Structure 1
Amino acid sequence: MILDAARDAARQLFSPEFRSVFFKTLGLTLLALAAFWLGLKELFDWLALPWIDALLPGFPAWAGWLSFIAALVAGIGLAIGVALLIAPVTAIVAGLFLDDIAEAVERADYPSDPPGRPVPPLQSIVLALKFFAVVVAGNLVALLLLLVPGINVGAFFLVNGYLLGREFFEFAAMRFRPEADAKAMRARHAGTVFLAGLVIAAFLAVPLLNLLTPLFAAAMMVHLHKAIEAAERKAPSRRPSS
């Protein structure tokens, strides 16, 4: 079930149905990352460079070397910072287009099923901010856990697997049922959703490919929700014991 959903989502990433959302998400994400880069660089120049020049006024050669080293360290730090921002920035950008992704999947692979209901615009913005907060919190926790011996990379997958699986599955389910029912459905299949979240976390860990994580995650969870819904319909109803 999970591997089928992941395979179908990966197949659709570069399909004509996804092309419009793909270019909009990628373009806005790159613009946002460029803005973050310039903003952080300006902040460094404003805070650090005057302090370096004032620290060694009598030794311009040393001050120049110190400035060079500081700029080099800052450049590496900025690159790491932007790399860490890729996931949350793509989350908030793609969060605005998740309904477009879900509709494309439903229209292409489930044309005979009733279509899902788009999330209202205000709730869509709230969801985008929620995805952003979840991804930031998850990566901060994972980053802190990376400092704990014996946990390391596993922390990244466990934290992101849980959070991303939960949020994206509930989004897919909410297109067809109230939020409370979507949460209950996710709770009934918590193990399956968590394993699917680990697949998304693995996708997130691949450089450059992680720019497409929200598109892949949304499409995968639409497929997974459909599979779970079909399995629940086929399962015999539980009767209370007499």
Structure 2
Amino acid sequence: MILDAARAAMSRLFSREFRAVFFKTLGLTLLVLAGVWFGFKEVFEYFALPWLDAFFPDLPSWVGWLSFVAAIAAGLGLAVGLALLIGPVTAVIAGLFLDDVAAVVEKEDYPDDPPGKPLPLLPAIAMSLKFFGVVILGNIVALFLLLVPGVNILAFFLVNGYLLGREFFEFAAMRFRPEMEAKALRRRHAGTIFLAGLVIAGFLAVPLLNLLTPLFAAAMMVHLHKMISQKDGETAPR
């Protein structure tokens, strides 16, 4: 069931409809990161660089090089930080377009079933922010667990597998069910959904390809929700 859902999601991943969502997501992500970069740069140059001259006006002229070195170090640090933020920022922006992804999968692969109902704008924004928090939290926890001998990469997969599996499945289910019913369904099939989350975590671990993680995860969980619903005797959940 899980592998079937993953294969079905991959088959749609590079379709024209998915590419359109991906380019919108990537464009907005780069715009946000560029804004963060220039905003930080302006703040740093305005407040940090004059600091040495303001507080130590009588120091030798070579001390001015410290400002140059500090600027380079800050730039490198910001570049690393932005690289780490690409995944989470992509997740929060993609969260605004996940209903588009789900609608494509439902229309193309389940044409005889009633279509799902998109989330209203405010709940959709709240869910995208929740995705952002989940990705940030998962990676922070995994980062700390990397310091524990014998855990390392396993921590990344376990934490992200659980969190991503839970959130993306509930998203797919809530297109057809009230929130409480979606959560109850997820709890009844917690093992299957966790294993599906591990597949998503594996996708997330691949550089560059991980930018497509929200699209892949949403499509995969739409398929998994359909399969679980049919298994439970619901031929067309609504």
TM-score > 0.5, shorter chain as reference: yes
- Higher mean Cα deviation, 2-11 or 34-43? 34-43
Over 3 Å counting, the alpha-carbon distance change for 1:150 and 1:46 in structure 2 is farther
Tell me which residue corresponds to 1:192: 192
Tell me which residue corresponds to 1:58: 59
Tell me which residue corresponds to 2:137: 137
Q: Identity across aligned pairs (percent)?
A: 70
- Higher mean Cα deviation, 33-42 or 155-164? 33-42
Alpha-carbon separation, structure 2, partners of 1:41 and 1:224: 44
Q: Which runs of 4+ in 1 moved over 6 A?
A: none
After TM superposition, the score normalised by the length of structure 2 is 0.89
Tell me which residue corresponds to 2:127: 127
Alpha-carbon separation, structure 1, partners of 2:137 and 2:156: 11
Deviation at 1:52, TM superposition (A): 4.3
Alpha-carbon separation, structure 2, partners of 1:150 and 1:69: 38
- Is residue 114 from structure 1 mapped to residue 114 from structure 2 by the alignment? yes
Over 3 Å counting, the alpha-carbon distance change for 1:82 and 1:68 in structure 2 is same
Tell me which residue corresponds to 1:99: 99
Deviation at 1:48, TM superposition (A): 3.3
Q: Which amino acid aligns with 2:149?
A: P
Is the 1:162–1:197 Cα contact (8 Å) retained in structure 2? Answer: yes
Q: CA RMSD in A?
A: 1.9
Matches for 1:128-207 after TM superposition, within 5 Å = 128-207=128-207
Deviation at 1:133, TM superposition (A): 1.7
Deviation at 1:32, TM superposition (A): 1.2
Q: Which amino acid aligns with 1:74?
A: A
Over 3 Å counting, the alpha-carbon distance change for 1:153 and 1:67 in structure 2 is farther
Q: Which amino acid aligns with 1:59?
A: P
Is the 1:86–1:210 Cα contact (8 Å) retained in structure 2? Answer: no
Alpha-carbon separation, structure 1, partners of 2:221 and 2:49: 47
Is the 1:116–1:176 Cα contact (8 Å) retained in structure 2? Answer: yes
Matches for 1:77-96 after TM superposition, within 5 Å = 77-96=77-96
Is the 1:5–1:221 Cα contact (8 Å) retained in structure 2? Answer: yes
Is the 1:95–1:128 Cα contact (8 Å) retained in structure 2? Answer: yes
**Residues matched between the structures, number:** 233
Q: Which runs of 5+ in 2 are unaligned?
A: none
Q: Which amino acid aligns with 1:172?
A: A
Q: Which runs of 5+ in 1 are unaligned?
A: 235-242
After TM superposition, the score normalised by the length of structure 1 is 0.88
